[in-house]
Amino acid sequence: MLSFISRIRKTTNPPTVKKTENPLRVGLLGASRIAPDAIIKPARCHEDVLVTVVAARNKSRAEEYAHKWSIPKFYGGESGYQDLLDDAELDVVYIGLPNALHYEWTMKALNAGKHVMCDKPIADNEEETRRMFSLAEEKGLVLLETWQPQFHPAIKKMKDIIDEGSLGEITKMYAHFGLWGNVMFKKDDIRYDYKLGGGALMDLGPYPINYMRFLSASEPTVQSAEAICRSENVDRRMETELLFRDSIPATVIVDLSLDGWGPFKLLPQWVKIALRVECEKGSVEIWNYPLPSLWHLITVRTQDGRRCVEKVYKPTQGKGEEWWSAYRYQLESFVDKLRGRSPDAWRTAEDSINEMRVIDAVYSKSGLALRPTSSFGA
């Protein structure tokens, strides 16, 4: 327990390290709630990254945010976002805006000559995603969709267990990602706004779907999808059946409306975050796959009744510390890419495009409209 507390303290409040002579300078587009964990704290403990500016639509909000997180410069007002992109000292832009704004401001950032880290989901649909990566390639810039579990050693351990072969071939997969949305989010939260790219599948779906695609090394077809809506075209719960290579069935449930005080529960269930892969000779399951750096359990069960539980916070090879968050691992790979080194893990353009293809297909199969394409550049 003492080791756990010590690790969590360092993960959530990492040390500030001495910077290199010319570190990569990062600007935050949006004074978002995700940015402190996603980029500000990881940058503190990376010697080659410095967060130097933040922009928000509200000038006082930008100033307050900059002061709180010790960011030297801020831009605010109607021109705040563009002022940040025009900042000649910046190398990288981190985009933590609502989903519907990802396309416009990523395209503008790339056209301004900036490398981009864009929060997941990278766009509102597959077509936008293709355009974004096409422009990045044309400009010779790095664009990364920041889905942080892919960079944490826990997911690699899951993959290694499956690929090692002693459990046999995959026969079935199952994942549930549910949050007690009625308590955790306000009624007007952007997750519930169709025009802003909202919906449970958009917010939570990238986690289980991308895990399954990675672990099975294949792309699925959507067999069925059923949505429970909060409002028109905005899903608060989505259950979909996917079919991966070799006819591997998979069930994915994402839920922003968990009944925390559901029937016959002695304790409230605020989250449900388990992913299981069943194989011919056993199974492997990971608990808390969305945020493995905080705490996770990888449980392997074999047909003969043996059970093994593992936790992996540091890779056996490559860079990393036990207290590194998944976001810190992600930042390490991003910097390696920009500096011309081979990152330990990476998310390709094809990966992001295929992820949005699956999400689009699930929405279509459920009878809901795709998230609206941006009018920017139309």
Amino acid at 242: L
pLDDT at 378: 60
pLDDT digits 0-9 by tens, 288-318: 999 999 999 999 999 999 999 999 999 998 8
Spell out the alpha helix ranges (H) of 112-216.
126-139, 153-164, 181-184, 200-204, 206-216
Please say whether the beta carbons of 72 and 62 come within 8 A. no
Token duo for residue 159? 């993959």
pLDDT at 264: 45
Please say whether the beta carbons of 358 and 121 come within 8 A. no
Please say whether the beta carbons of 131 and 271 come within 8 A. no
pLDDT digits 0-9 by tens, 222-280: 999 999 999 999 999 999 999 999 999 999 999 998 754 444 454 456 688 999 999 99
pLDDT at 2: 79
Q: What's the angle, vertex CA 200, arms to CA 184 and CA 326, rounded to 5? A: 70
Beta strands in the chain (DSSP E): 24-29, 49-56, 73-76, 92-95, 115-119, 143-146, 170-179, 221-231, 234-244, 248-255, 271-279, 282-287, 297-302, 307-310
**Sequence-ordered list of residues with C-beta below 8 angstroms from that of 71, at least 6 positions apart, any chain:** 28, 40, 51, 52, 53, 54, 65
Q: For residue 317, which phi and psi values (nearest 5 degrees)?
A: -135, 150
What share of the chain has pLDDT > 70, as a percent? 96
**Rounded distance between C-alpha atoms, residue 34 and residue 36, angstroms:** 6
pLDDT at 266: 47
Quick one: how far is CA 251 from the chain centroid? 20
Domains of the chain: 11-144 (3.40.50.720), 150-366 (3.30.360.10)
**Rounded distance between C-alpha atoms, residue 21 and residue 171, angstroms:** 52
Per residue in 335-353, is it b (16+ CB within 10 Å) or e — as a string?
bbebeeeebbbebebeebb
Reading the chain (378 residues) residue by residue, the pLDDT tens digits are: 778 888 999 999 999 999 999 999 999 999 999 999 999 999 999 999 999 999 999 999 999 999 999 999 999 999 999 999 999 999 999 999 999 999 999 999 999 999 999 999 999 999 999 999 999 999 999 999 999 999 999 999 999 999 999 999 999 999 999 988 776 788 888 999 999 999 999 999 999 999 999 999 999 999 999 999 999 999 999 999 999 999 999 999 999 987 544 444 544 566 889 999 999 999 999 999 999 999 999 999 999 999 999 999 999 988 999 999 999 999 999 999 999 999 999 999 999 999 999 999 999 999 999 999 999 986
Per residue in 227-242, is it b (16+ CB within 10 Å) or e — as a string?
bebbeebbbbbbbbbb
What positions carry a catalytic annotation? Answer: 120
